[in-house]
C-alpha cells in the first residue's frame, strides 16, 4: 500500500498530499531510475562514490525553482569533483534541456521523473493533487546514506541553501 502523508505541506497555504515515506537522516537512499533524455536513464549507482546534492523542484519554469537551480549551479562550481548536483523535476527532458540552455546552467545535472513518478513516490515527494514533485533537498554521502533532508512545508518557499551546501561540505 502506498503511504499518503497529509498535513505536512501546502501550496500557497492550501493543503496538499505527499505520496511516499518521509525519509530521514541515516536512511539508505532509495535507488532511482530517472530520464536524462528520452533514450537514456540514470540511476543512483551512476554517481557511486560521490556526494550527491539532490535538489527537487516542481518545475524549472517557475520563479522559485529557477532561482533554486541557479543557486545550486553556482554552488556546484565551489564544491569540487567529488560532488554531483542533481536537479530532479517532472518536467520533460526536452524542457529541462531548453531551460538549462537558456539559463546558462551547466554544472547541475537535470533528471526527469516524468515517466512513472517513481522518484517522487520513493523519496516521499510526489504531490498527489498535481502529480509533480514537492520542493525538497537530499544530501547523500559516498555510501548512499542520507545525511541531510529538507522537506519544504510550503511549495512556494525557498529551501535553506546554506544548510544544504554546508551538509555537503561536511562530507568532504
Nearest of 14, 42, 59, 30 to residue 124 by alpha carbon: 30
Catalytic residues: 65
3-state secondary structure of 160: coil
Cell triple for 41: 536513464
Q: List C-alpha distances in Å: 80 to 52, 139, 146, 164.
A: 12, 15, 20, 15
Beta bridge partners of residue 118, listed in sequence order: none
- CA distance linking residue 157 with residue 154, whole number of Å: 6
Cα angle: 11, vertex 165, 6; to 5 degrees: 25
Do residues 66 and 89 lie in contact, with contact meaning Cβ atoms separated by under 8 Å?
A: no
DSSP structure class, residue 44: G
Amino acid at each position: 500500500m502506498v503511504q499518503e502523508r497529509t498535513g505536512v505541506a501546502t501550496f500557497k497555504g492550501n493543503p496538499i498530499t505527499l505520496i511516499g515515506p518521509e525519509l530521514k537522516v541515516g536512511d539508505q537512499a532509495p535507488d532511482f531510475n530517472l530520464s536524462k533524455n528520452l533514450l537514456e536513464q540514470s540511476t543512483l549507482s551512476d554517481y557511486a562514490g560521490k556526494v550527491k546534492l539532490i535538489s527537487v523542484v516542481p518545475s524549472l519554469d517557475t520563479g522559485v525553482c529557477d532561482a533554486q537551480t541557479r543557486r545550486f549551479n553556482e554552488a556546484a562550481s565551489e564544491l569540487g569533483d567529488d560532488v554531483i548536483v542533481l536537479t530532479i523535476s517532472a518536467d520533460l527532458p526536452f524542457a529541462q534541456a531548453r531551460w538549462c540552455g537558456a539559463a546558462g546552467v551547466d554544472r547541475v545535472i537535470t533528471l526527469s521523473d516524468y515517466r512513472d513518478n517513481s522518484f517522487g513516490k520513493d523519496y516521499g515527494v510526489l504531490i498527489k493533487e498535481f502529480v509533480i514533485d514537492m520542493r525538497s533537498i537530499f544530501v547523500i554521502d559516498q555510501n548512499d546514506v542520507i545525511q541531510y533532508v529538507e522537506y519544504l512545508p510550503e511549495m512556494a518557499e525557498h529551501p535553506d541553501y546554506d544548510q544544504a551546501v554546508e551538509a555537503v561540505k561536511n562530507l568532504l
